Amino acid sequence: MKKLLLEWKGYLMSGISYMIPTVIGGAMIVGIPQIIGLLFGQTNLDKFKNTNDFFHMLYQINQVGWVGIGLVNLVIAGYVAYAIGDKPALGAGFIGGQLATNIKAGFLGALIAGFVAGYVARWCRKIKVPEAWQSALPLMVVPLLTTGAVAIVEGVILANPLTALNNGLVDWVKHMISSGTNGVVVAAVLGAMIGSDLGGPINKAAWMVGNILFIEGIYQPALMTNVAICCIPLGYAVATFIYPRKKFSDELYLAGKNNLIMGTFGITEGAIAFTLVSPLKLLFVNMAGGAIGAVVGEVLGMHSHIPPLGGLPGIITADNKLAYIIGIAAGALFIGIVAPLVTDFSATATETSEEINEDEIKIDIEDF
């Protein structure tokens, strides 16, 4: 069972890795025209749909971004299927992902479509046919069986249950976010997940939760994860300014300065070099910092009416910019103050490597 779960996690991570550029690209192409419009005093580009001017061009570009966001289910279903069943599963996975969007089955529907298409394609490898029919197998039989399986399972059997489940989840998330106390809980959980394994499966799962909801028009979870993502690398950068130079080895001092850039563009992996010095201690510092940043931003009322950009550029797309900035500052300051208090960063790279080997560190999603 454990082996199967590990396989499923790998398939899911593969799908997410292909989904990430789609979401980021779509969100940026939605957001940049909106920002340009705001510079000219235009808060809504939709009213320029039928005009023939500069703002109509911005509207057209903006709509391309929405197309990208609308492809999220298609991409993740297709590449989950691809991870399981290779190229023969890809087409049925794409169809199932688009079907999930059309019937409002959401992310869960896309995942089920991907797994169905992938496993049916894998099973099709066992089909034995006469040599004369070999060419027909990948061109006709496999597409028929994979797409047919997706149509039956998702389009017929699970269509209504998945739609009801997705609608219920969306309504629940909206309720959680609109309720002050529950919104803080969501922020704390997502922020801590971002800080847990720094680009690993838990981190990506939290990022996915925030960004997969774009397609439902819910942007608050993405703001929470964006704040947490900035907090952690910026926290270690802040530490190199707060504490004396002798508190850090040459390598980590330079890494801290580099984390100014990593944190600015929301790359949590910048904190890995510091975390590896004492992972058991700093894991919880990172999680607490991410949670604090997201919670502070949530309490102060950060929100956005368009898909938010990641990193510090997200200040532009945030409606309550001060809340977004203070949230990042709070989480980064916590890490910047606490991390050097619990860990000695002055060890040289050789001494550190003797104490702990990066290859020996494994944070597994099943451990949580």
Does residue 354 surpass a pLDDT of 60? Answer: no
Looking at residue 364, what is its pLDDT? 47
The reply to whether 69 and 115 lie within a common domain is yes
Looking at residue 359, what is its pLDDT? 46
Residue 16: partners with Cβ closer than 8 Å, 6 or more residues away: 76, 204, 205, 208
340 HSE (CA, 13 A, CB side): 24
Looking at residue 361, what is its pLDDT? 43
Does residue 351 surpass a pLDDT of 80? Answer: no
Which of residues 289 and 15 earns the better pLDDT score? 289
Residue where a domain terminates, one of 165, 189, 209:
165
The reply to whether 105 and 135 lie within a common domain is yes
Which of 298, 296, 297, 316 has its CA nearest to residue 306? 316
- Mean pLDDT of the region 204-219: 81
Does residue 283 surpass a pLDDT of 80? Answer: yes
CA gap 165, 178 in Å, rounded: 20
- Mean pLDDT of the region 27-33: 85
Residue 257: partners with Cβ closer than 8 Å, 6 or more residues away: 237, 240
Q: What percent of the chain has pLDDT over 70?
A: 93
The reply to whether 206 and 326 lie within a common domain is yes
The reply to whether 150 and 184 lie within a common domain is no
**Domain presence at residue 173:** no
**Domain presence at residue 200:** yes
**Domain presence at residue 170:** no
The reply to whether 160 and 222 lie within a common domain is no
**Domain presence at residue 253:** yes
CA gap 214, 172 in Å, rounded: 15
**Domain presence at residue 92:** yes
The reply to whether 211 and 286 lie within a common domain is yes
Does residue 365 surpass a pLDDT of 80? Answer: no
Looking at residue 349, what is its pLDDT? 41
The reply to whether 91 and 34 lie within a common domain is yes
**Domain presence at residue 26:** yes
Residue where a domain terminates, one of 165, 187, 217:
165
Helix (H, G, I), strand (E, B) or coil at 293: helix
The reply to whether 99 and 157 lie within a common domain is yes
DSSP string of 120-173, one letter each residue = HHHHHTT----GGGTTHIIIIIHHHHHHHHHIIIIIIISHHHHHHHHHHHHHHH
Query: Would you say 115 and 107 are in contact if contact means Cβ atoms under 8 Å apart?
Result: no
Looking at residue 174, what is its pLDDT? 76
Tokens of 188: 């704390």
Does residue 363 surpass a pLDDT of 60? Answer: no
Domain count, the chain: 2
| Range name among 143-152, 204-213, 315-324, 344-353 with the lowest pLDDT average | 344-353
Looking at residue 114, what is its pLDDT? 95
The reply to whether 345 and 299 lie within a common domain is yes
Range of the domain at 92: 2-165
**Domain presence at residue 305:** yes
- Mean pLDDT of the region 218-224: 91
**Domain presence at residue 267:** yes
Does residue 20 surpass a pLDDT of 90? Answer: no
Helix (H, G, I), strand (E, B) or coil at 50: coil
Residue where a domain terminates, one of 142, 165, 188:
165
Highest mean pLDDT among 108-112, 129-133, 171-175: 108-112
CA gap 94, 97 in Å, rounded: 5
Does residue 281 surpass a pLDDT of 50? Answer: yes
Query: Would you say 110 and 96 are in contact if contact means Cβ atoms under 8 Å apart?
Result: yes
Does residue 181 surpass a pLDDT of 70? Answer: no
Place 298 in a pLDDT band, splitting at 50, 70 and 90.
Answer: very high
The reply to whether 24 and 135 lie within a common domain is yes
The reply to whether 147 and 186 lie within a common domain is no
Residue 51 falls in which region: left (phi positive, over 0), alpha (psi -120 to 50) or beta:
beta
Looking at residue 362, what is its pLDDT? 47
110 HSE (CA, 13 A, CB side): 26
Cα dist from 157 to 91, 149, 150, 154, whole Å: 20, 11, 10, 6
The reply to whether 215 and 321 lie within a common domain is yes
Does residue 197 surpass a pLDDT of 50? Answer: yes
